[in-house]
Amino acid sequence: MKRVLIFMATFLVVLSVKAAPEYTGNVSGFYVNNTGTALVNLDVETPNCGNAGWPFTFSVDAPGAKEWVSMFLMARAQQSVIRVGHSANPDGHCSIVYVHFYDF
């Protein structure tokens, strides 16, 4: 029974992550301000998140944020393509839900 519950919980998490809309591109900007808000820009148009400035945001205190910071910096340094899953955010930016990169 315990294994079934673990499987179901894992399945639901994977399903919720896959359901997020995403953009794929190179990191063209990365900024962290003094309030702990990280802002990210990709080199692709992001009409759902605002095309100008900083379309993606996350808090550096969020779960997984330290890993996301490392991934954005690595992708930027290596000029690797990165995939950003997001959800809508009332202030006009899209909130990052997951970050994924590999050689496409």
| pLDDT tens track for 49-91 | 876 689 999 999 999 999 999 999 999 999 999 999 999 766 6
Q: Which two tokens stand for residue 24?
A: 């794929």
pLDDT at residue 33, as a whole number: 95
pLDDT at residue 50, as a whole number: 74
Range ranked top by mean pLDDT from 28-42, 44-58, 83-97: 28-42
Euclidean distance between CA atoms 37 and 59, whole angstroms: 5
Going by C-alpha positions, the residue among 36, 21, 37, 38 that lies closest to residue 76 is: 38
pTM, two decimals, is: 0.75
Q: Which domains does the chain have, with CATH numbers?
A: 21-101 (2.40.50)
pLDDT at residue 1, as a whole number: 58
